[in-house]
Amino acid sequence: MNLGNVDGHAGASSLRHLDARAKIIAVLTFVVIVALLRDLRILAFALVYVLALLAVAGVPARHLAGKYVLALPFALLGAFSVFFSSGLLPAAAMFLRISACVLSLVLLSSATPFFDLLQGLQKLRVPRIFVNLLLFTFRYLFVIADEMGRMSIARKARGARSGRHLLDRLGMRTISFTAGMVLVRAYERGRRMHDALRSRGFDGQIRTLTRFRMGVAEWLFIAPVLAFSTLLLSAEWGLLAWA
């Protein structure tokens, strides 16, 4: 299982060193406002704006396309359901809306190392339990994926074949036992991890030293995004003559 490049491009982004809070606030505000837009032309503007931001952040096109393809089925599904209830134009609007939102989230995740993102969330007072859960999930995803990889190789070494179809009973049995074993191992690992955390003074809160702060650069990033979002919303509500 290849999970190696989750953080692949975050390190190289030009926005990497901005305070994660600035990026989270700006992107989430933008997402909320885009969700309120109905006019196709304004949505198109929003989309172009996100693409421009992605270009500024230095997110490689391939990486972007890969992430977008993953979200495409959801965008299409949303568009289809709207198409059957309200027609073509609202469906197109829905498609653009979802695309713009997904792309801005790709911007957030591609310009921020995962750990900084978590620290940002913590500083923004997202409940501890969510942040901790995300942290452990992220870290141990790799460990469990490795474990599953090793188990799969060990199975093959002993002549197992993977289930070819749903009626392949032997194959399915192997898979279900493997899944059970992964669960048991993960549970045991969880217990050992908790012991390890306690032996280093864990009391439920994961403390870190914050390495970022809101400075000029952060405001220079937030301000235009917020301004543009406001502009989009004003246009949507007919507050601007040219819209």
Using alpha carbons only, give the angle 102, 103, 104 rounded to the nearest 5 degrees.
Answer: 95
Between 83 and 136, name the residue whose CB sits nearer to another protein.
136
Q: Which of 14, 181, 198, 237 binds another protein (CB under 8 A)?
A: 198
Tracing tokens 């995803």 back to the chain, one arrives at 141
Between 157 and 209, name the residue whose CB sits nearer to another protein.
209
Between 197 and 214, name the residue whose CB sits nearer to another protein.
197
Phi, psi of 124, rounded to the nearest 5 degrees: -85, 10
60's CB contacts (< 8 A; 6+ apart) are 9
30's CB contacts (< 8 A; 6+ apart) are 46, 50, 104, 225, 228, 229
Distance, CA of 117 to CA of 20 (rounded, Å): 6
Closest CA to 178 of 156, 193, 204, 208: 156
Count of residues near another protein by CB under 8 A:
29
CB of 198 to another protein, least distance (A): 6
114's CB contacts (< 8 A; 6+ apart) are 6, 7, 10, 138
Reported residue count of the chain is: 243
Q: Which amino acid is at 236?
A: E
The structure tokens listed for 6 are 């989750």
Binding segment for another protein (CB under 8 A), chosen from 59-67, 150-158, 171-179, 193-201, is 193-201
| Residue 202 lies near another protein (rule: CB under 8 A) | yes
Binding segment for another protein (CB under 8 A), chosen from 76-84, 103-111, 158-166, 197-205, is 197-205
Residue 87: alpha-carbon gap to chain centroid: 30
In the range 134-153, which residues lie near another protein by CB under 8 A? 135-136, 138-140, 142-143, 146
Q: Which of 114, 123, 178, 243 binds another protein (CB under 8 A)?
A: 114
Binding segment for another protein (CB under 8 A), chosen from 101-109, 164-172, 199-207, 214-222, is 199-207
In the range 203-242, which residues lie near another protein by CB under 8 A? 203, 206-209
Between 159 and 204, name the residue whose CB sits nearer to another protein.
204
Residues that bind another protein (CB under 8 A): 4, 7, 113-115, 135-136, 138-140, 142-143, 146, 189, 192-193, 195-203, 206-209
